[in-house]
Amino acid sequence: MSDITVPTRSSGTTLSLDALSGPAARARKEGAIKAVFFLAATVSIIVSAAIVWSLVREAWVFITEVEWANTWGQNGWFPRQGLYDMPTLLVASLIVTVISMLVAGPIGLGSAIYLSEYASRRTRSILKPVLEVLAGVPSVVLGFFALFFLSPQIVERISRSGWLIIGAVILTGYVAMMVIWVRRTLQREASTSAAQMFTRIIVLTLFVLVGLVMVWWILRTAGSGDAGAANFFQVKRSGQLAAASIGVGILTIPLVASISEDALASVPRELREASAGLGARKVTTTTQIVLPAAVSGIVAAFIIGVSRVIGETMVVFMAGGAADAARFTDSPFEGGLTMTAGMASLATGTDNVVGEGLTFQSLYFVGFVLFLITLTLNVIGARFVRNVREKY
Amino acid sequence: MALSTIGGNGRTTARVDAEIYRQGRDLKGRGFQYLLLSALFLASLFLITLLIQVLTDGWPVLSERFVDFFTGTLRSRSSDDALGIGQGLAGTFWIAIFVIALSFPIGIAAAVYLEEYASENFITSVIDVAIRNLAGVPSVVYGLLGLALFVATRDGNSTLFAGGVTLAILVLPIVVITAAEAIRAVPSSLREGAYGVGATQWDVIRTQILPYAAPGILTGTLLSLARAIGEAAPLILVGAITDRLAPRGDGLLSLDQIFDRFTAMPIVIVGWVQESGRDQGFGPAAGAAIVVLLVFVILMNSIAVTLRNRFEKKRG
């Protein structure tokens, strides 16, 4: 059965299947090559196992030996004195996460929608590289930027004159409303009676008066107390959690943008065409059709963004305004240590980690907590990404 | 005009015309578009401000003592003439060698296995999950791994070897994922054609798949190299020197320094930024070091991106 007759030009030789499989040496060589490639692939399993093993080994020592009273409700993270107050690190990480996602979320998503839905090929070729360059900027550079620019120029000013900023935002909104109203009324009626003109002038005067009262009130509030308007122009150089957060946010913009853009690109063209065919405007199509269809991927972008933000170290370490140890704070305008910055500052200063008893182990405990948080977020994020792929 | 018959008088016609043709009809749409554009504008603004800040801070140092700065070492005073990034450059150079020697071969081989050899079984899915999760592990955690593996105890010595291997492990998943993507894009007709003329699997990989996927793989490796060069957190954990490091007598290529204490470009920057609180002059020095680092990293990234775009366009 294994004999197959192959007709050849010379004569009818018999060829077996064994002969077709080639020389044994060749098969051995192929097998060896496959084994080498397989070994390379298993490196990732070994590395994963090594990470978990190294984290768990030292974290376990910490968990079993630490006095639990010292890990909760103390007034700060002072590892070299044996005070490991986890809330200090967790709250700081939470502050950084919230503020940086407030920066990265809208800017990343907005950029993605513009690039995917609105930009012409030419605009895209100009604007897309901006995000690509931003994605390549090392985090130490953002740390430098956060400490030397964002902190003194932006955060200090906001924290010293918060009312001025908030007031300015409200006032801008108010003026925008007024402009829209004026435009609408001018466009609606081509010609108007004198009575109508009169009421309009009165309404406009009221608008302006209310606006002036607002300006007066804001200046008065901002001018009183510590948060004086005069302080707005003073410059001080030091780090705060808020400055670091904005830096981390800038670093995360390209990540959020690229995952959201992938999600938007996977929405079938037919959906957009059907919507346009029914007479929907571009903005309606984008917000009512495309965004809901891609929502899974956008959620994934935010989740993976959060995971990246929590794990970001250098920016917070350099611009977070705390070294070595930190008091508990829940204000973004003060210095603080996140989980990652706490780890980095334990490892600097001297070239090895030294300190009271469990300092070295506390490093691994914090690392283990961080590892679990990011792993959970990444797994959830990956599930959302898969949802988009399966849907279309 | 057909419309004039609806209302009968000129005023209605004017109104209908205005409703249809008036300027700024789609106010909401315009507003939305400008809002989106402002997001991109803000991102560009951040990038431009960042570049200007770094350049203005670093320029005085670079223009005054360009050559000295490249050969200088870590010093305790910023006014020291011998202050410079020589040691940082050497450390970063060797880290790049480690990444090229370890991550590239292992990563590409793993990608070839996953795409060409692996059958759908338990081990393959475990490898897949492991790579995907490793790509999301924060870089400090890799630092902890390096600390545990190579520095071992708190009395252990932190060496360039430990830092290099740690960063090689860090970028390994990126190399695997990008290489696997490039290999997946190879058309199956190439494989089938080669098998049809009697090539073995290794022949197919060697002569068809790797050459075709080479630009994509190169893009991934360049991106991961740029990432490794700019990464600081794992090195800090492993114990790179941020303050002062005795200069070595031997040259850049001397193998002895692999098992000695070390620093690297990002670490030099971190160290100087921290020192700038005590000695203002370290600020500009850090700025200058950042300019040097950014030139390398952005150059590598843009080569990678250009390469990718060119081949994507060529192959449609």
Which residues in chain A are closer than 8 Å to B231, comparing Cβ atoms?
Answer: 138-139
| Highest-scoring range by mean pLDDT, A83-97, A145-159, A353-367 | A83-97
Contacts of B33 in chain A (CB under 8 A): 114, 118, 282-283
**A270 in the same domain as A200:** no
Same domain, A155 and A169: no
Per-residue confidence (pLDDT) for residue A363, from 0 to 100: 85
Domain shared by B143 and B172, yes or no: yes
How confident is residue A180, by pLDDT bands cut at 50, 70 and 90? confident
Single residue among A11, A40, A65 that ends a domain in this structure: A65
Does A280 lie in the same domain as A174?
no
In this predicted structure, the answer to whether residue A11 has a pLDDT above a threshold of 70 is no
List the single residue in B33, B110, B298 with the smallest CB-CB distance to A133.
B298
| Statement: residue B117 has pLDDT above 80 | yes
- Contact list, B229 vs chain A (CB under 8 Å): 138
Q: Is A1 inside a domain boundary?
A: no
Chain A CB contacts of B24 under 8 Å are 183, 187
Q: Decide if A115 is inside a domain.
A: yes
Task: Report pLDDT for A354.
Answer: 52
Mark which of A227, A247, A262 sits at the end of a domain.
A227
Domain that holds residue B184: 68-315
Contact state of B36 with A318 under an 8 Å Cβ cutoff: no
A58 with A86, same domain: the answer is no
B72 and B55 in a common domain? no
Q: How confident is the model over A50-92, as pLDDT tens digits?
A: 999 999 988 888 888 887 777 777 777 887 777 888 888 898 8
Q: Is A266 exposed, middle or buried (CB count within 10 Å of its CB: 0-12, 13-18, 19+)?
A: middle
* B157 lies in the same domain as B88: yes
Kindly list the residues from chain B whose CB atom is less than 8 angstroms away from the CB atom of residue A354.
Answer: 154
CA separation (Å) from B232 to A51, A232, B35, B40, B41? 19, 35, 36, 28, 29
pLDDT of residue B21: 62
Domain match, A61 and A190 both: no
Name which of B29, B110, B241 is nearest A40 (Cβ-Cβ). B110
Residues B30 and B74 in one domain: no
- Answer with the one of B64, B81, B110 that is the final residue of a domain: B64
| Judgement on whether residues A93 and A150 belong to the same structural domain of the protein | yes
Cross-chain Cβ contact A107/B169 below 8 Å: no
In this structure, the answer to whether residues A205 and A84 fall within a common structural domain is: no
- Over pLDDT 90: what percentage of chain B? 33
User: Which position has the higher pLDDT, B135 or A1?
Assistant: B135
Domain-located, residue A13: no
A61 and A200: one domain? Answer: no
A135 and A40 assigned to the same domain: no
A373 located within any domain: yes
The ipTM value here is 0.85
- Whether residue A360 is found in the same domain as residue A277: yes
Q: Which of B49, B64, B79 is the last residue of a domain?
A: B64
| pLDDT for the residue numbered A5 | 52
How large a percentage of chain A has pLDDT more than 70? Answer: 83
Q: What CATH number did the domain enclosing B121 receive?
A: 1.10.3720.10
Residues B28, B143: one domain? no
Q: State which residues form the domain around A207.
A: 162-227
Examine the domain organization and report whether B216 and B161 are in the same domain. Answer: yes
Which residue in chain A is spatially nearest to B113 when comparing CA positions?
A37
Total number of domains constituting chain B: 2
Q: How many angstroms separate the Cα of A217 from the Cα of each of A184, A203, B226, B299? A: 29, 21, 52, 52
Examine residue A6 and state whether it is found in any structural domain, yes or no: no
Residues B148, B287 within the same domain: yes
Residue A138 maps to which CATH number? 1.10.3720.10
Summarize the confidence of residues B40-62 as an average pLDDT: 90
State whether B25 and B101 are in the same domain: no
Q: How confident is the model at residue A229 (pLDDT cuts 50, 70, 90)?
A: very low
Size of interface A-B (CB pairs under 8 A): 290
- Is the domain of A319 the same as that of A247? yes
Question: What pLDDT sits at residue B1?
Answer: 44
What phi-psi label fits residue B240: left (phi over 0), alpha (psi between -120 and 50 degrees) or beta?
Answer: beta
Same domain, yes or no: B39 and B186: no
Q: What are the tens digits of pLDDT across the range B196-241?
A: 998 888 999 999 999 999 988 999 999 999 999 999 899 988 877 7
End position of a domain, from candidates B44, B64, B84: B64
In contact, A288 and A280? CB cutoff 8 Å: yes
| Number of domains present in the structure of chain A | 3
Q: What is the mean pLDDT of chain A?
A: 81
Judgement on whether residues A275 and A381 belong to the same structural domain of the protein: yes
**A233 belongs to a structural domain:** no
Query: Would A368 be classed as within a structural domain?
Result: yes
Say if residues A134 and B46 touch (Cβ distance below 8 Å): yes
Residues B93 and B203 in one domain: yes
**Is the predicted pLDDT of residue B100 greater than 90, yes or no?**
yes
Which of the residue ranges A296-305, B81-90, B149-158 would you say has the lowest mean pLDDT? Answer: B149-158
